[in-house]
Amino acid sequence: MQSVAAEMRHAETAFLLRQGERWSLRWFTPTVEVDLCGHATLASAHVLWTTGRLSETEEAIFETQSGELRARRESDRIVLDFPAEPVNVAATAREALSVSAALDLLYPPKFVGRNRMDWFVEATSESEVEGLTPEMELVGQLGQRGVIVTVASSMPDADFVSRFFAPQSGVDEDPVTGSAHCCLAHYWATQLGKDELIGFQASARGGYVGVRVRGERVELIGTAVTILSGELETESPVI
């Protein structure tokens, strides 16, 4: 699976294996296996429904390294039921300096902490987040899976803005990171006092993620389309 993911060269490649009424699901970047991935789960559910392996009225139930995950359809949207991943440790002053230096932040961040997977940084402005050019070598030395950088949004169609950097996991910048929103949703729900929000991830490709906070769970809301299908050859010819 790791070799196939290295060939695919996408942020994550998902692998499904039927286990009775459920599906085993694992995710790999080009270099490592990860514990949680939103978009590859969204795509996995979409494939199960569109290929007839599940009817569109059935929930997709996945067994993963982050426990049981579920996906269901709401009209033309897909809703993922994921664990909340709240920030649970505040960074020390030394850690905050290291993270700030790696990101090449212009101003001291409002907050630096981490959850079980990632560093988490609340910056001071949207323009700073959108203009970040991190020192990827330094970011890769920070440990954790990656670094989430965020700020409250001034846009009418989003509540917060974020970016996600993970060179230590083989992905310098992920275009849109569903699993990061399991942390972002919880943080901004607390900050803004509402449990339904929209996040915009300001990468070069960019994208919106709808979120609903449900206690210790977070619902991620999005859509999927099939753009390519094919067969994987399991053996290469000898040259």
Look up tokens 């900050």; give the residue: 191
| Residue 231 designated active-site | no
Q: Characterise 210 by phi-psi region: left (phi > 0), alpha (psi -120 to 50), beta (else).
A: beta
Give the per-residue SS3 of 7-20. Answer: HHCCCCEEEEEEEC
The residue annotated as part of the active site, out of 7, 12, 95, 122, is 12
Q: Which of 167, 94, 181 is nearest to 135 (CA)?
A: 167
How far apart are alpha carbons 134 and 127 in whole angstroms?
Answer: 14
Q: Parallel, antiparallel, or unpaired for β 67-74 and 60-64?
A: antiparallel
Amino acid at 25: L
The answer to whether the CB of 166 falls within 8 A of the CB of 146 is yes
How far apart are alpha carbons 111 and 134 in whole angstroms?
Answer: 18
Q: Is 165 helix (H, G, I), strand (E, B) or coil?
A: strand
Diameter of the chain measured on Cα atoms = 62
* Token code pair at residue 209: 């993620």
Positions marked catalytic: 12
